[in-house]
């Protein structure tokens, strides 16, 4: 069942076709996915990435949508509160940077000059004041609109189709650093055309302010943006909307995993924003969600109201060893090595030559999941160090990588070849 936001806007047989476009079974991308494009080339062809140097690692930050949808508690106080918490609770220091508004920030009508008007109830001091507040904290600010005549909410807020230049200019003048550009009410205009028009408008607008703007393409994977958007946006949604439950998170994860060959610095697959902390999953499941998003080099956009978050939520979102997997500068998305009977092994090559390994248990009871250093691409050493990124403990291994993983849980490891041991075998072995 597609999430309600999808159901609202695509109806009947068209919906079935559209929703299958990024379907649960291996799409075309999966077939191509075994082949990693040469550095500087995308799997789709020669297009590389935008030349602005933005999003060289997956964007990290906050977006209100999963927490509030269009409710009245999406307002200036919330956004400022999140920026405060980013600083106070060490999330800024952990890498979270963007504080982003989603749908419903505007009034349904443009003004007489065609300008967008912030909703005065939610944002009584306007958008620039909020952006200034966020910037004063050393953070960045993002906003939302749709590549259509109206945004996705039934209230019908104005979209940017046909207004790209003037809306992009308005965003740039407000100090926007990040635009999430949705797909509702697109009038059937070709997606590549619509998103390229906004890319060009953002580039032109940011030339006047000197503030480059991340372009987050949100067309739900309908037109396989991984094949054409590497130089159109910095990230693209690969699926429909996530909801705060296990099956939604899992199905999105399964659709996003096969697309690994298309991700890289400046151009990321986006399996949607985090639900961690919203209450619909257990903390074990949220650790899986966060582990898998990190090993997939997904954008990490917190989607819960941090003003009400539990210590466990902060512990998950603030785990720097897990974040380092997501933010690794090599920019690889992890690949599935095996997934038999719900026992998943996913491996991500890291810049320092180590591998991040997720041992993920999809089943409803504890399972032993195992692989080897050789299978994850490490060999030749006499010993390896397995670092458990949730327990923050290291242990040695001769090459076996295994753990008992609770139901719906993930053991996330970083495995390094032990150079010293390779070069200097332990004394005990010499004397044996
Ligand atoms: C779409 C997007 C969501 C959210 C809503 C807002 O459904 O995919 O992420 O932005 O619109 O209406």
Rounded to whole angstroms, the Cα distance separating 367 from 154 reads 45
DSSP letters, 146-212, are ESSSB-SSTT--B--TT-HHHHHHHHHHHT--EEEEE-TT-TT--HHHHHHHHHHHHHHHHHHHT--
Ligand 1 probe mutation, 102, 154, 270, most atoms within 8 A of CB = 102
- 146: pLDDT strictly greater than 90: yes
Question: So what's the pLDDT on residue 307?
Answer: 98
Distances from the Cα of 140 to the Cαs of 88, 130, 306, in angstroms?
16, 11, 17
Query: What's the CA gap between 376 and 355, in Å, rounded?
Result: 7
Q: Are residues 212 and 258 in the same domain?
A: yes
pLDDT for residue 68 is more than 50: yes
Least confident of 28-42, 176-190, 275-289: 28-42
Pocket of ligand 1, candidates 241, 270, 274: which has the most ligand atoms within 8 Å of its Cβ, to mutate? 241
* Residue-level pLDDT at 420: 53
Q: Are 145 and 95 in contact (CB under 8 A)?
A: no
Q: How far apart are CA 53 and CA 329, in angstroms?
A: 13
Told to judge if 52 belongs to the known catalytic residues of this protein, a careful annotator would answer no
pLDDT tens for 4-25 read: 333 333 333 333 333 323 332 3
* Average pLDDT score over residue span 46-65: 92
pLDDT at 234: 98
Domain boundary among the residues 282, 306, 326 is at: 326
User: Which CATH number covers residue 260?
Assistant: 3.20.20.70
Quick check: CB of 218 below 6 Å from ligand 1? Answer: yes
Residue 135 has pLDDT above 90, yes or no: yes
What's the average model confidence in pLDDT over 15-40?
35
In a domain? residue 6: no
**Residues 343 and 389 both lie in one domain:** yes
Q: Is the CB of 298 under 6 A from ligand 1?
A: no
| Most ligand 1 atoms within 8 A of CB, residue of 10, 64, 218, 272 to mutate | 218
**Residue 178: pLDDT band with limits 50, 70, 90:** very high
Mean pLDDT over 89-113 rounds to 98
Residue 4 forms part of a structural domain: no
**Residue 3 falls within a domain, yes or no?**
no
- Give the N- to C-terminal CA distance of the chain in Å, as an integer: 62
pLDDT at 430 over 80: no
Verify that 221 and 321 share a domain, yes or no: yes
Q: Which atom of ligand 1 is nearest to the CA of 240?
A: 8
CATH of the domain at 401: 2.60.40.1180
Higher per-residue pLDDT: 217 or 26: 217
Q: Whose CA is nearest to atom 5 of ligand 1?
A: 152
- The DSSP 8-state label assigned to residue 359 in this structure reads E
Residue 273's pLDDT band (boundaries 50, 70, 90)? Answer: very high
Position in ligand 1 atom list of the atom nearest CA 152 = 12
Locate the ligand 1 atom nearest the alpha carbon of residue 144 and give its number: 10
Specify which residues 180 forms β-bridges with.
144, 216
Is residue 298 located within the same domain as residue 367? no
- The Å distance, Cα 182 to ligand 1 centre, comes to 7
330 burial via Cβ count (<10 Å: 0-12, 13-18, 19+): middle
Instruction: Report how far apart, in Å, the C-alpha atoms of 197 and of each of 179, 181, 232 are.
Output: 13, 11, 9
Residues 424, 282: one domain? no
Q: What is the structure's pLDDT at 412?
A: 99
Q: Is the pLDDT assigned to residue 398 strictly greater than 90?
A: yes
pLDDT at res. 48:
86
Q: Report d(CA 311, CA 414) in Å as an integer.
A: 25
198 and 107 part of one domain: yes
pTM given for the model: 0.89
Distance in angstroms (rounded) separating the CA atoms of residues 274 and 293 = 8
Instruction: Tell me, yes or no, whether 1 lies in a domain.
Output: no
- Confirm or reject: Cβ of 102 under 6 Å from ligand 1: yes
d(CA 47, CA 313): 39
Whether the per-residue pLDDT at 132 is higher than 90: the answer is: yes
pLDDT(382) > 90:
yes
Q: Same domain, yes or no, for 277 and 423?
A: no
> Is 226 touching ligand 1 by the criterion CB < 6 Å?
no
**What backbone torsions phi and psi does residue 144 show, to the nearest 5 degrees?**
-135, 140
Residues 290 and 184 occupy one common structural domain: yes
Is residue 5 domain-resident? Answer: no
C-alpha dist (Å) from residue 353 to 70, 291, 339, 357 = 44, 19, 24, 13
Residue 80 sits in the same domain as residue 159: yes
pLDDT tens per residue, range 201-248: 999 999 999 999 999 999 999 999 999 999 999 999 999 999 999 999
Question: Counting beta carbons within 10 angstroms of the beta carbon of residue 23, is it exposed (0 to 12), middle (13 to 18) or buried (19 or more)?
Answer: exposed
Nearest residue by C-alpha to atom 9 in ligand 1? 241
Distance 108 CA to ligand 1 centre (A): 16
Confidence of residue 429 (pLDDT cuts 50, 70, 90): very low
Same domain (yes/no): 159, 297: yes
Q: Across residues 279-294, what is the average pLDDT?
A: 99
132 catalytic per annotation: no
Q: What residues contact 302, with CB distance under 8 A and at least 6 apart? A: 61, 62, 63, 91, 96, 273, 274, 276, 277, 317
Tell me the average pLDDT of the chain.
Answer: 89
Dihedral angle of Cα 295, 301, 304, 309, to the nearest 10 degrees: 70
> Mean per-residue pLDDT for 407-423?
85
User: Which residues, at least 6 apart from 202, have a Cβ–Cβ distance to it below 8 Å?
Assistant: 168, 171, 172, 179, 213, 215
Tell me what pLDDT residue 305 has. Answer: 98
Domain boundary pick from 270, 294, 326 = 326
For residue 314, how far is its CA from the centre of ligand 1 (angstroms)?
A: 25
- In the set 103, 167, 177, 182, the catalytic residue is 182
User: Other CB atoms closer than 10 Å to residue 338's CB: what's the count?
Assistant: 14
Cα-flanking dihedrals φ and ψ of residue 245, to 5°?
A: -150, 160
Asked if 234 and 341 sit in the same domain, the reply is no
The residue among 292, 326, 360 that closes a domain is 326
Could you list the residue range(s) of the whole structural domain that residue 222 is in?
A: 11-326
User: pLDDT at position 47, please?
Assistant: 52
Q: Which is the closest atom of ligand 1 to the Cα of 218?
A: 8
Given a cut of 80, is residue 78 above it in pLDDT? yes
Q: Of these residues, 241, 270, 272, 305, which one is catalytic?
A: 241
Mean pLDDT in residue range 325-338: 98
Counting the structural domains of the chain, the total is 2
Pair 97, 212 in one domain:
yes
Nearest to 5, CA basis, from 216, 228, 183 = 183
Distance from the Cα of residue 214 to its chain's centroid: 13
Query: Is residue 419 very low, low, confident or very high in pLDDT (cuts 50, 70, 90)?
Result: confident
pLDDT of 410 above 90: yes
């Amino acid at each position: 069942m597609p999430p309600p936001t999808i159901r609202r806007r695509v109806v009947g047989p068209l919906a079935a076709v559209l929703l299958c476009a990024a379907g649960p079974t291996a799409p075309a991308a999966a077939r191509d996915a075994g082949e990693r494009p040469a550095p500087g080339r995308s799997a789709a062809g020669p297009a590389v990435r935008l030349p602005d140097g933005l999003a060289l690692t997956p964007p990290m930050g906050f977006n209100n949508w999963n927490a509030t949808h269009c409710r009245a508690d999406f307002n200036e106080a919330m956004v400022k509160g999140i920026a405060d918490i980013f600083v106070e609770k060490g999330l800024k220091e952990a890498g979270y940077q963007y504080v982003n508004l989603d749908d419903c920030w505007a009034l349904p009508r443009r003004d007489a000059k065609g300008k967008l008007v912030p909703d005065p109830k939610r944002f009584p001091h306007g958008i620039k004041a909020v952006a200034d507040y966020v910037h004063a904290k050393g953070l960045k600010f993002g906003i939302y609109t749709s590549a259509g005549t109206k945004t996705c909410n039934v209230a019908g807020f104005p979209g940017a189709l046909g207004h790209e230049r003037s809306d992009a200019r308005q965003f740039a003048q407000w100090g926007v650093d990040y635009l999430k550009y949705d797909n509702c009410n697109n009038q059937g205009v070709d997606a590549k055309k619509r998103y390229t028009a906004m890319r060009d408008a953002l580039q032109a607008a940011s030339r006047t302010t000197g503030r480059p703007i991340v372009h987050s393409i949100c067309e739900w994977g309908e037109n396989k943006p991984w094949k054409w958007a590497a130089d159109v946006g910095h990230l693209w949604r690969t699926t429909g909307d996530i909801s705060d439950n296990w099956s939604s998170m899992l199905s999105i994860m399964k659709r996003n995993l096969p697309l690994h060959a298309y991700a890289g610095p400046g151009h990321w697959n986006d399996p949607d924003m985090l639900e961690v902390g919203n209450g619909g999953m257990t903390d074990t499941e949220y650790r899986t969600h966060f582990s898998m998003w990190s090993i997939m080099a997904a954008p990490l956009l917190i989607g819960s109201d941090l003003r009400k978050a539990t210590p466990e939520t902060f512990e998950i979102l603030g785990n720097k060893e897990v974040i380092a997997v997501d933010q690794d500068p090599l920019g690889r998305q992890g690949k599935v090595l095996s997934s038999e009977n719900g026992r998943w092994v996913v491996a991500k090559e890291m810049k320092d030559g180590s591998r991040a390994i997720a041992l993920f248990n999809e089943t409803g009871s504890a399972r032993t999941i195992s692989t080897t250093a050789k299978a994850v691409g490490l060999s030749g050493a006499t010993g390896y160090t397995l670092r458990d990124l949730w327990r923050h403990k290291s242990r040695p291994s001769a090459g076996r990588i295994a753990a008992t993983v609770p139901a719906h849980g993930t053991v996330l490891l970083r495995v390094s070849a032990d150079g010293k041991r390779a070069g200097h075998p332990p004394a005990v072995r010499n004397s044996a």
